[in-house]
Amino acid sequence: MQATPLFYPPLRNPNLKSLSFYHSSTFSTKPPLPHLGFSRLLSKDHRFIKNCIVSSQELSHFDTEITAQNGGFSLCDRVNEGEDDKMLGTQNLWSQIKEIMKFTGPATGLWICGPLMSLIDTAVIGQGSSIELAALGPGTVLCDYMSYVFMFLSVATSNMVATSLAREDKKEVQHQISVLLFVGLAGGLFMLFFTKFFGSWALTAFTGPNNVHIVPAANTYVQVVAGYMMIDSLNKKGFNAFAISVPSLDDLRTIFTISAPVFITMMAKVAFYALIIYFATNMGTYTVAAHQVMIQTYWMWTVWGEPLSQTAQSFMPELLYGINRNLSKARMLLKSLIIIGAILGLILGIVGTAVPWLFPNIFTADQKVIDEMHKVLAPYFISLAVTPAALSLEGTLLAGHDLKFVSLMMSGCFTLGAIVLLLVSSGGFGLPGCWYALIGFQWARFFLCLQRLLSPTGMLYSEESNDYKPEMLKVA
């Protein structure tokens, strides 16, 4: 018999009896719909009406069967909750933009904690000595950049959990949270031992003093407190976030499948920024001090675009391969993200450039350092303006599990960027040359991701592609 694709597992019917959707013959007349409470369900927006409008006896049986086979989620409950009306992908453009802003607001607060603390460190140390300000650059590579590498866990968690929620598998969500907490704890211990035993060696590679890595360590307290608050929030939503499970080989394989490309992406970003600091370190004390101020303010503003990436990874899976798969609505959501990213990038570029331009004395009183800072204002603005939009595009690709392309793209951008940095450094272009290389790095990411998503064979247009279809179930 021909296989039929279903979005839900088939109902259990071991005796192969006919399942009637009509009222029993006992009832001579059909009760009016308003008395059944189904008038609200007749809207064309509700897709589960066939599963809900049955006789009173069959309703109980069907609801039990569907609930048991879908991880405890009742389809009728899903309709009664009006989830379709709240789903981001079903709203118009302006409503989507407002909902995205509501989602990204709290997420932005979590992202800016680390860069804000590092920026405060930079301002305090810069008021004391330009030499110490220059020495802070290598220290941030060891502390802040290493922490940023492990943001792949955040991306992997959002991707895996959003995918499971799209399939309405709450038990799998709980298991993934427990396993990823264990991986995060292991990563934290690795960072602790690395900075303890290899910190001096790593700092020496950047010609910095051996004790500078102590300065950004104030971030630890913020991270611990924020971590507890997020765990407590998960508990209130019905997940046991304090449960930590040792991952099995299958769990590690699943995490590696998603995390490896994301890890490569994060490593490419961090390595490129570290290379800029490395080349700037060889340009003199004032130059590296100016770069330290500019790169810290740059990080402070770029993380404002990260919640757009998280938004794409949270809401796109439902539209790409969830039970509510709808590619046209996914394209509308992407359009909203790009619009917000463009507006946000312009605002961040203006505000971010104005701070070191008009208020450089916040960070240093040394005029030579200020002069070096002002030399890179133009590339600073251009590279910052495109970052939020680029992050939203990358988040969409990650949500669509186009991991191979993302990892290859970032590896290629890093390789070409490193070559450009080497050429501008040896060519005597100074710090502005390094920042113009950063422009190429950021805009290349944007155009490559945009071209991939707009491709007729891409995930947003591939109705016939098996790579982006939900799991198909066969019945005889």
Report which residue type is found at 254.
T
d(CA 279, CA 81): 57
Q: What is the mean pLDDT of the segment spanning 69-75?
A: 40
Residue 50 corresponds to which tokens in the numbers above? 């066939």
Give residue 4's pLDDT: 44
With 90 as the cut, is the pLDDT of residue 135 above it?
Answer: no
Give residue 33's pLDDT: 40
With 90 as the cut, is the pLDDT of residue 70 above it?
Answer: no
Higher-pLDDT residue of 119, 52: 119
Higher-pLDDT residue of 112, 84: 112
Query: At 56, is the pLDDT very low, low, confident or very high (cuts 50, 70, 90)?
Result: very low
Distances (CA, A) of 41 to 48, 80, 83, 474: 9, 8, 12, 29
The vertex-227 CA angle with 210 and 292, nearest 5°, equals: 35
Higher-pLDDT residue of 236, 446: 446
Calculate the CA dihedral of residues 10, 12, 17, 22 and round it to 10 degrees.
-70
Q: Average pLDDT over the chain, rounded to whole?
A: 70
Q: What is the mean pLDDT of the segment spanning 331-335?
A: 90
With 60 as the cut, is the pLDDT of residue 72 above it?
Answer: no
Q: Which residues contact 281 (CB under 8 A, 6 or more apart)?
A: 134, 137, 138, 206, 207, 208, 288
d(CA 286, CA 293): 11
Among the residues of 282-360, which ranges form H helices?
A: 285-302, 306-320, 327-358
With 80 as the cut, is the pLDDT of residue 316 above it?
Answer: yes
Residue 77 corresponds to which tokens in the numbers above? 């409950």
Instruction: Look up tokens 């969500």; give the residue.
Output: 173
Nearest to 43 by CA among 85, 1, 86: 85
d(CA 79, CA 87): 12
Give residue 116's pLDDT: 75
Query: At 87, is the pLDDT very low, low, confident or very high (cuts 50, 70, 90)?
Result: low
Nearest to 117 by CA among 296, 380, 310: 296
With 90 as the cut, is the pLDDT of residue 448 above it?
Answer: yes
Give residue 345's pLDDT: 95
Percent of the chain with pLDDT over 70: 58
Q: What is the mean pLDDT of the segment spanning 373-386?
A: 95
Q: Are 385 and 444 in contact (CB under 8 A)?
A: no
Q: Are 117 and 216 in contact (CB under 8 A)?
A: yes
With 80 as the cut, is the pLDDT of residue 451 above it?
Answer: yes
Q: Contacts for 46-50 with beta carbons within 8 Å, 24 or more apart? A: 46/79, 46/84, 47/84, 47/324, 48/75, 48/76, 48/78, 48/79, 49/79, 50/21
Angle between helices 249-281 and 430-454 (to 10 degrees): 150
Nearest to 150 by CA among 178, 186, 116: 186
Give pLDDT tens digits for 6-33: 443 444 444 444 443 334 434 444 444 4
Instruction: Look up tokens 């251009």; give the residue.
Output: 382
Q: Contacts for 231-239 with beta carbons within 8 Å, 24 or more apart? A: 234/177, 238/170, 239/173, 239/174, 239/177
With 70 as the cut, is the pLDDT of residue 315 above it?
Answer: yes
Nearest to 161 by CA among 151, 175, 145: 175
With 90 as the cut, is the pLDDT of residue 438 above it?
Answer: yes
User: b/e map of 159-196 (b: 16 or more CB within 10 Å)?
Assistant: bbbbbbbbbbbbebbbbbbbbbbebbeebeeeeeeebe
Give pLDDT tens digits for 217-271: 333 333 443 444 445 554 554 555 556 667 778 777 777 777 777 788 888 888 8
Q: Which residues contact 468 (CB under 8 A, 6 or more apart)?
A: 320, 321, 400, 459, 462
d(CA 248, CA 425): 47
The vertex-425 CA angle with 419 and 431, nearest 5°, equals: 115
Give residue 453's pLDDT: 93
Give residue 242's pLDDT: 54
